[in-house]
Amino acid sequence: MQLFIDTANVSEIKTAWSWGILDGVTTNPTHIAKSGRDFDQVLEEIFAIVDGPISVETVSTKAEDIVREGRAIAAFHRNAVVKVPVMPEGLKAVKQLASEGIKTNVTLCFSAVQAYLAAKAGATYISPFIHRKELAGDDGVLLVQQIRDIYDRYGYETKILAASIRTGKEVLESLLAGADVATMPFDIMESLYKHTMTDIGLKMFLDDWKSVPESKLFGTLAVR
Ligand code: G3P
């Protein structure tokens, strides 16, 4: 499963990229607004940091305008993916963009039948919103499982991009449900590294190491 970061915060993207486990980025209009920065400048910086798929969202509601924005996004960089909300005009635009070889990410998916329509339109990715669905008293991970079943049964190649993830458990459940990608905020990605037993174990190993005489192999590198 690929790992994307869901943000337009350049310093978070830089840090996550430096960890060597990041495959791509997803952004949305809220992230761009939150950055308080110039849209074009933020995109320039994100595309310069990450060499992988980067989703940029369209903000029109008519197919022809979405297509126009999508072409502009695609022309911006070879790694660009055009994010389009699931709605009739959106999927009409996705079909057109797909016919031009432009990659798309159909977003705001809350049902498996929406994911089916997105695949029929030729979407590259479908983004089921796990946590927002859970907040509405619904089962977000079951949605990923249902989409996996439908895509596998009917041979759709659209990739399942588990989105709106807010807990490490939702990452684990996305892995087990067969998502192709999971996108998450920086703090959730960072939390995946953490476990109290790891901290306790590491402290114990480093404390015990202090009683071992200095070695030629490590020289002065080892912490004392
Ligand atoms: O890609 C999905 C994301 O942009 C929205 O997620 O965390 O605001 O529910 P969230």
CA-to-CA distance for 54 and 51, rounded, in angstroms?
A: 9
User: Which pLDDT score, from 0 to 100, does residue 221 have?
Assistant: 66
The token pair that represents 29 in the structure block: 């209009």
CA-to-CA distance for 150 and 185, rounded, in angstroms?
A: 28
Polymer length of the chain: 224
Separation of CA 46 and ligand 1 centre (Å)? 18
If you take atom 1 of ligand 1, which residue's CA is the nearest one? Answer: 163
User: Which pLDDT score, from 0 to 100, does residue 158 have?
Assistant: 98
Angle between helices 63-76 and 88-99 (to 10 degrees): 40
pLDDT tens, 73-117?
999 999 999 999 999 999 999 999 999 999 999 999 999 999 999
- Round the average pLDDT of the chain to a whole number and report it: 96
Residue 220 has pLDDT above 70, yes or no: no
Pocket test for ligand 1, best of 105, 125, 144, 183 (most atoms within 8 A of CB): 183
User: Which pLDDT score, from 0 to 100, does residue 155 have?
Assistant: 98
pLDDT tens, 45-82?
999 999 999 999 999 999 999 999 999 999 999 999 99
Residue 10 has pLDDT above 70, yes or no: yes
If you take atom 4 of ligand 1, which residue's CA is the nearest one? Answer: 28
The residues lining ligand 1, judged by C-beta closer than 6 Å to any ligand atom, are 6, 26, 28, 127, 129, 131-132, 163-164, 183
Does the active-site annotation cover 169? no
Pocket test for ligand 1, best of 2, 4, 6 (most atoms within 8 A of CB): 6
Residues 129-133: contacts with CB within 8 Å, 24+ apart? 129/163, 129/164, 130/162, 130/163, 130/164, 130/165, 130/170, 130/174, 131/164, 131/165, 131/166, 131/167, 131/170, 132/164, 133/164
